[in-house]
Structure 1
Amino acid sequence: MFGRLGAPEIILILVVIILLFGAKKLPDMARSLGKSARILKSEAKAMKEEGNSNAAAPAPAPGTGEQPPAQRTIQAAPGDVSSARPVNEPTDTTQR
């Protein structure tokens, strides 16, 4: 029943979407979706790189003079400096 979607069905679906959301809002929605995908990709890459660097460096011994983590800047999209903001990295307070 729902196995194959042909060209007429896809065109009908697109027409319904345009009627529901309006032609003016669709480019903005697509742009917003693209920004969200870029943010997700850059954050996943940063987490992966951070995980690799943490695995390579040994953890400091508890009770030693540990320095506070440095701030880093998270940007909403590559090249978008208007929404960049510094953030503090969370510290691990669990006891092992």
Structure 2
Amino acid sequence: MRSAIFSSREFRPAAIHVAVTIGLGIICAIAAGSVDGDGLTKGLMLASLAVVLVGTLAAGARTFISSRAGGRWQVWQGAFWLLLGLSLLWFTSVLPTILFG
């Protein structure tokens, strides 16, 4: 028997949202490591942090919207908590580079 969460129409968009958010953040971080110049490196690291934070806030907004519509908000809440934990880790790893790099 299949789980109701995995058969819902909300799981795939939430999984894609998380994957795209993490992927764009990683691409910005890799680009920051491959460029020359402190200003550009700091800017790209800040961009990677912004991508992850915006993705987290968007997942939180989708949680609220799905809850109000009577949908499967639990899937979006899981995506939100995953991205929130990741964004806190990302923040602590990017902040020294931005401030002292």
Bin for the TM-score computed over the shorter chain: 0.3 to 0.5
Decide which structure has greater helix share: 2
Decide which structure has greater strand share: 1
Greater relative contact order (Cα 8 A, min sep 6): structure 1 or 2? Answer: 2
TM-score normalized with structure 2 length: 0.39
TM-score normalized with structure 1 length: 0.41
